[in-house]
Amino acid sequence: MFFPQSESSSSLHASFQSSVDFSVWVLQTDGLCVPPFDQHTCFSGPLQENGLNQTNWTNWFYSLVREKSVNPVVAWKDIDSVGELLAKQWEIYLKQLQGTERAFGRLHLFIRELDTELFPYYTYLKPLNIFYVNYVINNGTFVQDHAVVLGIDQQTIDNAIFSSLLLSLTDQLAKSMKMPLDWQERQKQIMQDERALFASQIRQLPDEMQKQIAHFFPSFEKVPVTLLEFLNSRIKLFLLLVQEQEVEGVIVQRQMIASREYVTLKINDIAINVLAQEIQGATDTNGMVGGKVLIRRKETKNHIIDFNYRVKALL
């Protein structure tokens, strides 16, 4: 059975991005303090002596959060001498990167456990991008209208502190978006609708698949809503393919998430995300937004839940 990865969720993108982490590492190694990352020792390092300041650092930081997966040295668009020093600092940073990535690895999994608490925000903060960076204390900030950056001390990672900080910052970000007064009631209804749709759709599946789903999800009331959304779209596509054998869809979005390119396909009222590399025959022309694809269910001899399919670009 295919389960969604957190980076492919249409609602929640949680990741450690070295470029964003590097920008906060620069603050600490050069002594520049920029709220809320101002709890380390402040002093004047060589980058500041060459012109790094709160304004141009913030502009750089915002660009790294927006672009993700970009080379932070290339993304620097201000004083040349600062850029030259950043290139040297980037080489030093990369030598200790592996340890930082290891320390944050389990947070990537823990975020999924917060799905139910975070779901009420998804309609208004979609996609919700969450980045974690190594910092001397646990704090963070939200960036513009789409991202939360969490400063976590990798030496003392604590799930309870992490979840409290994430939910607090997400709530602050949501309030800045001027959400309607009844947003919580609206989201509660969405959760109920997704669960009702799931219960209705699984009754239309073959008996063997129903047994498999009952084994994996003995109580779908406890299944995170984003996973239900994912499963509902896959089941709906599966039922359509059982009837039609193959269907046409259209590419409506392409986006880079954690160094991987994902494509959003629309088939009637169904939206699914696939890796760009999984679209057979895609070129720079027919693989772009607006391009049509043909979707056919993969045949399998195993008696297991199988919602997989093949996607082929049409000329």
Tens of pLDDT, residue by residue over 169-226, are 888 877 777 767 777 777 778 778 888 888 888 888 888 888 877 777 766 666 666 6
36 and 95 both lie in a single domain = yes
**What is the Cα–Cα distance from 62 to 59, expressed in whole angstroms?**
5
188 and 171 both lie in a single domain = no
59 and 208 both lie in a single domain = no
List pLDDT tens digits, range 124-165: 666 678 888 999 988 888 887 678 898 888 777 777 777 888
- DSSP notation for 128-169: EEEEEEE-SSSEEEEETTTEEEEEE-GGG--HHHHHHHHHHH
- Cβ contact 238:307 at 8 Å: yes
Report field, pTM of the whole predicted structure over 0.75: no
192 and 94 both lie in a single domain = no
Residue 1 lies in a domain: no
132 and 215 both lie in a single domain = no
307 and 198 both lie in a single domain = yes
150 and 251 both lie in a single domain = no
78 and 169 both lie in a single domain = yes
Both structure tokens of 218: 């003995």
DSSP three-state, residue 164: helix
**What range does the domain containing 21 cover?**
6-176
Residue 199's nearest CA partner among 239, 228, 226 is 228
- Cβ contact 41:135 at 8 Å: no
135 and 208 both lie in a single domain = no
109 and 247 both lie in a single domain = no
95 and 208 both lie in a single domain = no
**Chosen domain end from 119, 151, 176:** 176
**Chosen domain end from 176, 208, 242:** 176
Q: Tell me the residue length of the chain.
A: 315
Residue 240 lies in a domain: yes
Both structure tokens of 282: 């895609």
Tally the domains of the chain.
2
- Amino acid occupying residue 86: L
111 and 247 both lie in a single domain = no
- Cβ contact 27:57 at 8 Å: yes
